[in-house]
Structure 1
Amino acid sequence: MSRRHAATIRKTSPDPKFNSIMLAKFINNVTKNGAKSLASSIVYNALSLLERKYDKDPIEVFNKAMENATPLLEVKSLRVGGSNYQVPHAVESRRSTILATRWLIKASQKRPEKSMVEKLAEELFEASCNKGGAVKMKDDSHKVAEANRAFAHFAVKRKKV
C-alpha cells in the first residue's frame, strides 16, 4: 500500500442482466486471464440453473448467499513487546464483500460437481441456506476472532487522513 495517497475507488457499472453492482463485482472476481465473457456466462448460467432447479429468484439467492458469507470480524496480527497477537477487528464493508466473494468462488472451485456452473450454483444455494464452504470459512474466521477476544484491548484506532 502506498504511503502517500489512498487508493482511488473506481466505480463499477452494474451488470446488464440483473442491474446489480454486487453481481458485476462478483463476475469480475470470477474472471481469470481477462476472459470476462466466459466468467459472465458461467455466473449467468449458474443463476439460471438455480432458477430452474430450485424455483427461486436467482438474484435473491445470490444476495442471501453474499449476506450469509459476509464476515463481521477478522483477526489481524499485531506485534506487542516481542510477541505477536491475533487481535480481533471489525471488518469494513468493502473488505467484507470482497472476502465473501473470494470465499464463495474458492469454495465452489473445491466442490465435486463436474462443471464450474454446477459448482457455483450449488455453492450459492447452500450459502443462501447458511451451509456450504463459504459460510464455514466465515464461521471459522469468527471463531478465531472470538478465541482471541482477550487481546481486543490491543486494537489501536488508526486515524484516517
Structure 2
Amino acid sequence: MARKGNTPKRIIAPDRKYGSVLVQRLINKIMLNGKKTIAESIVYTAIEEAGKKLNKTPLETLQGALDNIMPMVQLKSRRVGGSNYQIPTEVSSDRKLILGLHWLIDSSRARKGIPMAKRLMTEIIDANNNTGGAVRKKEDTHKMAEANRAFAHFARF
C-alpha cells in the first residue's frame, strides 16, 4: 500500500433547512442506502419535536444533547507482553463529535417498536436530561477509563 500522507477531509455542506453542518452530519449518519430525503425528514421531525417539548430551538436542543453525550476519553486496545490492555486516551474534538453522533444513533436504533423519528426525538430529549442509552454509554466509557487509568503509561503518541 502506498503511504504518501493523509487524504484531506471532505468539506460537508450545511443542511438546507438550518444551514448547520452538525445537522447535515447527523443526516448523513442516519441515512441508509442513499435515501437522504428520508433521513432528512427523520432528523428534521425529531429535532423540531424535541425542541418544542424542551422549549428550545431545534439547534440548541441537538447541541445540548450532544454536549451531554460526547466523551472526554476513549479506550484503545493495546497488546503488551501477551495481554491486551484497554488504555484510556484523550479524544480530539472531531472524534468527540463522531462518537457522540454514533452513540446517539445507535441508542435510538436500539429502541424498537416506534418510528425512527420518534425514537431519535426521545433519545435527544433524554440526552438533554442526562439520561438515556447514549449518556449511559458515555458514563460506562468514563468508568472503564477510570478503572484502567493505571495502564495509561502504555499509551504511545
Taking structure 1 as the reference length, the TM-score comes to: 0.91
**Matching residue of 1:116:** 116
Partner of 1:35: 35
Q: Give the equivalent residue in structure 2 for 1:45.
A: 45
Secondary structure of the residue aligned to 2:23 is helix
User: What is the letter of the counterpart of residue 58 of structure 1?
Assistant: P
Tell me by how many angstroms 1:112 deviates. 4.2
Offset at 1:108? 0.7
For residue 49 of structure 1, report the CA deviation from its aligned partner: 1.6
Whether the aligned pair in 2 keeps the contact of 1:105 and 1:120 (CA below 8 Å) is yes
The whole-number CA distance in structure 1 between the counterparts of 2:116 and 2:124 is: 12
Please, which runs of 5 or more residues in structure 1 have no aligned partner? none
CA RMSD of aligned residues (A): 1.6
- 2:12 equivalent in structure 1: 12
Alpha-carbon spacing, 1:51–1:124, altered in 2? closer, same or farther (3 Å):
same
Q: Secondary structure at the match of 1:74?
A: strand
8 Å CA contact 2:51–2:61 kept in 1: the answer is no
Aligned residues: 157
| Partner residue in 1 for 2:61 | 61
- Cα distance change on mapping 1:2 and 1:139 into 2, 3 Å: farther
Distance 1:135 1:2 in 2: 40
Alignment-derived partner of residue 152 in structure 1: 152
Task: Provide runs of 4+ in structure 1 moved above 4 Å.
Answer: none
Cα displacement string for residues 129-148 of structure 1 (whole angstroms, at most 9, x for unaligned residues): 11111011111111111110
Residues in 1 aligned to 2:113 and 2:136: alpha-carbon distance in whole angstroms:
19
State the partner residue of 1:92: 92
The alignment's TM-score, normalised by the length of structure 2, stands at 0.93
Q: Percent identity?
A: 45
Ranges in structure 2 where 5+ consecutive residues have no aligned partner: none
Task: Letter of the 2:134 partner, please give it.
Answer: A
